[in-house]
Amino acid sequence: MQKPSIPKGTRDFSPEEVAKRNYIIQTIRQAFESYGFQPIETPSFENMETLMGKYGEEGDRLIFKILNSGDFLKDVPQDLYEERNSQRITSQISEKALRYDLTVPFARYVVQHQNEIAFPFKRYQIQPVWRADRPQKGRYREFYQCDADVVGARSLWQEVEFVQLYDSVFTALQVKGVTIKMNHRKILSGFAEIIGAPDKLIDFTVALDKLDKIGKEKVEEEMCSKGISTEAIAKIQPVFSLEGDFSQKISQLKELLATSSVGLEGVADLEFIHAQTQQLGLQTATLELEVTLARGLNYYTGAIFEVAAPREVSLGSIGGGGRYDELTAIFGLKGMSGIGISFGLDRIYLVLEQLGLFPTAIAKSLEVLCVNFGDREALVSFGLVQQLRAQGYKAELYPEATKLKKQLAYADSRKVKYVVLIGEAELTAGTAVIKYMDTGEQATCPITEIGKVISEK
Amino acid sequence: MQKPSIPKGTRDFSPEEVAKRNYIIQTIRQAFESYGFQPIETPSFENMETLMGKYGEEGDRLIFKILNSGDFLKDVPQDLYEERNSQRITSQISEKALRYDLTVPFARYVVQHQNEIAFPFKRYQIQPVWRADRPQKGRYREFYQCDADVVGARSLWQEVEFVQLYDSVFTALQVKGVTIKMNHRKILSGFAEIIGAPDKLIDFTVALDKLDKIGKEKVEEEMCSKGISTEAIAKIQPVFSLEGDFSQKISQLKELLATSSVGLEGVADLEFIHAQTQQLGLQTATLELEVTLARGLNYYTGAIFEVAAPREVSLGSIGGGGRYDELTAIFGLKGMSGIGISFGLDRIYLVLEQLGLFPTAIAKSLEVLCVNFGDREALVSFGLVQQLRAQGYKAELYPEATKLKKQLAYADSRKVKYVVLIGEAELTAGTAVIKYMDTGEQATCPITEIGKVISEK
């Protein structure tokens, strides 16, 4: 028989990995809740029409479709069947699909439940999503998204709050030195206006986004190749060499965008967000203005966020988000502005791993093991185990009265700190031997005092 | 545009529902961990061959299959395609399927990772599963399973431990008066031996299982119709009228099964489990012997558990499990005895709802709302909000400086306890007004003392 395996791009998580992932999730969840966000959960699969057409053509392809149950071919028209066209037959044999992200299901949720919701609605959602992407290092077909969004409020205080939230989460995780980069869709629109090519906004920003990676010259080449004139590119030169801190960049942008009212609106928004953040202060993060930032452009309409890991770990983005007007318009509910951010669980896991920031306690799955010397002794040990559990310890009785060596080896492999031995002699005396696994020392005390001895250690 | 919807048999969970579900899950998780169980997680979908054939023919039909990505028809042989047979074409166009339970993935996990695992392996797993069952009241196509299993130990102390675990969880959830029913596969085999029809074991127990529902006569009729002789049924009469407590039933079974060595083995096992449980005591649950219990018979080889909700809620089973030898043999690893139990999240939810046992605090998604009177005041309020969050409160600033009435209505709908108002006058004075929403009272105090005032309330 072949050794079993799992589908490519998916993962089994061992106890240690689950404990570490839960530590991150719990930290994020706690921050979300202290910020007043409320959890919702949506089904793993949605009706096909809820998802299709929401992520572009590429996205449609990458959505996992679920085969209809039963005789799914029964109602396929014969002429369509004879075409043997996978794409055209799909909608006939599949009417459900696994969710691709948490944003579209959230939009669907808001529209469907609009009468039960108090707006502004602050929701968070931490659930897996699935994408039929080609698996590669760090990219999976099943992964968690951790999203917090607010829908129904246009105030910039929301942006200010998300900056604070990022700072709170990474501070709680002890990850010091993350950079919260911000940009604004309207600043990018302003650039397009300045170069006299508002229709080239996407091409322009896609090229600009590569500045760090390929350098100024190549970016200019790419812009040229997209039909942006050298004259226009000359006008926008200052963008390539913005310098200084947030405020200084704001000043330079005000000058550069002086003739673009939309551009100035974007600058004013960021100025406000920055000013409030300055006043409130950040614990460990830094706020930066990054005009090349263009993530999810066809989507965001206002502020854009991206969080970079501390410089010493070269891992890139560990979170991002932005404001998108008309979140729910795709489902027919207009005038709902939304803003949201996301935490990249897998990337954050790597950051904590690289920086050694996981608390050692979280991998402890067992604190006390009672050795099993046979049923009579085991019964007393089990009573002790129940007491320790009630006190909050992770404790167990070894299930079988097997060789001591084997039981101690098990204790070792579970990284147990205390082994308790109640053999025949101890049973008679009402005592127990406690063995400290890290030092090898041991001590004898009344059974009734084991809990106390451990808690005082 | 049509109002969006979700697939039948699936559910959206509102903030309140998620909070309540998480309360149950957290309680179960904590108990699992204090008992030394370790969490694992497996992918939502498995390779088709991992799942198919493990749940019987009916199970195979109810497994959700995932359509292959891309041009999935490309490699289907033309003659097979022309057959237009849904069942036969499935394996050609689908190679992955959503997990149907947590036990088969667990067995797969153990075999795949056997060299990394220290046995006995105590694992728990709390994840959703999917079944293409016909949806009906209380039956969903997506639902959570909460399983704890031990693999690699034959000792009956494991059974004793699971009885304690059930008691611990329901006590922690404040559900008093659950009944832990036990039976044993070998007792049922003993019955079949006694009636001289070991080959009729399944038919016999399936009929016996209905005793409570349809009564003795109908059960006898069904047995007859399955070819069990009236003479045989006469021999087994005492089974229909076992009386008394656990020990008394044990005595009656010893007599009845005197000539069946396998039957007596089963009785001895239950006697041991009961004796230890008597000694250890149970906090709120009752242990009962129920010879009609036959859940998952083709599966269990030893002890069988089922937990019934307290009598005042007529909800039936809220958990169950048992011992199954050869858990991992389906994947080629022999000699691994397993035992596991499961908690029925949806049913437990209904029990807590009916008995009013959800703590009121868990539905509180926001404790303090600061009213927004404009940017200057908002900045100071936001500073206060950040302080309160750091103290562990769920707090927020209303994002927009809109009418007070609207902001207070929002506070009401979020069930906020404290509303803090820092208007122009307060700003100048460095004070804040705190309004207690349940009494309508309000008080003024320095902004710096709000945290203290609330914590003392």
Distance from CA of A433 to the nearest CA of B (A): 21
Using one digit for the tens of pLDDT, what is the confidence trace for B11-67? 999 999 999 999 999 999 999 999 999 999 999 999 999 999 998 888 999 999 999
Residue B125 is inside which H or E element, if any? strand B121-130
Q: Is the pLDDT of residue B353 over 90?
A: yes
What is the per-residue pLDDT for B212? 84
Structure tokens at B387: 């302080």
Q: Of B125, B128, B26, which is closest to residue B361 (Cα–Cα)? A: B26
CB contact under 8 A, B4 and A128: no
CB B452: neighbour CB atoms within 10 A?
A: 12
Q: Which residues of A touch B332 (CB under 8 A)?
A: 1, 3
Q: Which residues of B touch A86 (CB under 8 A)?
A: 70-74
Distance from CA of B40 to the nearest CA of A (A): 5
Q: Is the pLDDT of residue B178 over 90?
A: yes
Q: Which residues of A touch B64 (CB under 8 A)?
A: 66-67, 69
Using one digit for the tens of pLDDT, what is the confidence trace for A333-389? 999 999 999 999 999 999 999 999 999 988 899 999 999 999 999 999 999 999 999
Distance CA A350, CA A414 (A): 24
Distance from CA of B42 to the nearest CA of A (A): 5
- Which residue's entry shows tokens 């008309």? A326
Amino acid A393 reads Y
Distance from CA of A402 to the nearest CA of B (A): 10
Distance from CA of A317 to the nearest CA of B (A): 25
The beta-carbon neighbor of A413 closest among B118, B276, B400 is B118
Distance CA B285, CA B345 (A): 18
The beta-carbon neighbor of B157 closest among A86, A276, A378 is A378
* Environment class of B227 (CB within 10 Å of its CB; exposed 0-12, middle 13-18, buried 19+): exposed
CB contact under 8 A, A366 and B47: no
Q: How confident is the model at residue B441 (pLDDT cuts 50, 70, 90)?
A: very high
| Cβ–Cβ under 8 Å, residues B173 and B24 | yes
A317 forms bridges with which residues in the sheet?
A308
A289 forms bridges with which residues in the sheet?
A182
Mutation to test the A interface, candidates B110, B127, B389, most A Cβ within 10 Å: B389
Strands B368-370 and B395-397: parallel
Q: Is the pLDDT of residue B69 over 80?
A: yes
- Which residue's entry shows tokens 């105590």? B122
Structure tokens at A353: 């791993």
What is the per-residue pLDDT for A197? 85
The beta-carbon neighbor of B400 closest among A70, A93, A153 is A153
The beta-carbon neighbor of B7 closest among A47, A122, A279 is A47
What is the per-residue pLDDT for B296? 63
CB contact under 8 A, B12 and A40: yes
Using one digit for the tens of pLDDT, what is the confidence trace for B102-119? 999 999 999 999 999 999
Q: What ipTM score was computed for the predicted complex, to two decimals?
A: 0.95
Using one digit for the tens of pLDDT, what is the confidence trace for B365-417? 999 999 999 999 999 999 999 999 999 999 999 999 999 999 999 999 999 99
Mutation to test the A interface, candidates B34, B375, B402, most A Cβ within 10 Å: B34
CB contact under 8 A, B15 and A123: yes
CB B138: neighbour CB atoms within 10 A?
A: 12
The beta-carbon neighbor of B67 closest among A66, A74, A153 is A66
Average pLDDT over residues B416-437: 96
What is the per-residue pLDDT for B356? 97
Compute the half-sphere exposure of residue B351: CA atoms within 13 Å on the CB side of its CA.
27
What is the per-residue pLDDT for B63? 97
CB contact under 8 A, A14 and B413: no
Distance CA A140, CA A143 (A): 6
Q: What are phi and psi of A354, to 5 degrees?
A: -65, -35
Q: Is the pLDDT of residue B160 over 70?
A: yes
Q: Is the pLDDT of residue B101 over 70?
A: yes
Q: Which residues of B touch A113 (CB under 8 A)?
A: 12, 14
The beta-carbon neighbor of A394 closest among B36, B81, B123 is B36
Distance from CA of A65 to the nearest CA of B (A): 5
What residue in A sits closest to B367 (Cα-Cα)?
A: A36
The beta-carbon neighbor of B158 closest among A120, A276, A399 is A399
Q: What are phi and psi of B148, to 5 degrees?
A: -125, 130
Quick check: helix, strand or coil at residue A53?
coil
Structure tokens at A225: 């190749």
Q: Which residues of A touch B383 (CB under 8 A)?
A: 279-280
pTM for the model stands at 0.96
CB contact under 8 A, B389 and A35: yes
Terminal Cα distance for chain A, rounded:
50
Low-confidence ranges of chain A (pLDDT < 70): 1-2, 296-297
Q: Which residues of B touch A95 (CB under 8 A)?
A: 7
Average pLDDT over residues B262-274: 98
What residue in B sits closest to A390 (Cα-Cα)?
A: B34
Terminal Cα distance for chain B, rounded:
50
What residue in B sits closest to A45 (Cα-Cα)?
A: B7
Cβ-Cβ pairs closer than 8 A, A with B, add up to 280
CB contact under 8 A, B22 and A13: no
Q: Which residues of B touch A374 (CB under 8 A)?
A: none
Using one digit for the tens of pLDDT, what is the confidence trace for B112-152? 999 999 999 999 999 999 999 998 888 899 999 999 999 99
| Cβ–Cβ under 8 Å, residues B305 and B341 | yes
CB contact under 8 A, B69 and A61: yes
Distance from CA of B309 to the nearest CA of A (A): 23
Distance from CA of B338 to the nearest CA of A (A): 13
Structure tokens at A121: 């609605």
Q: DSSP state, B310? A: P
Distance from CA of A41 to the nearest CA of B (A): 5
Spatial CB neighbours of A173, under 8 Å, sequence gap ≥ 6: A24, A27, A348, A352, A357
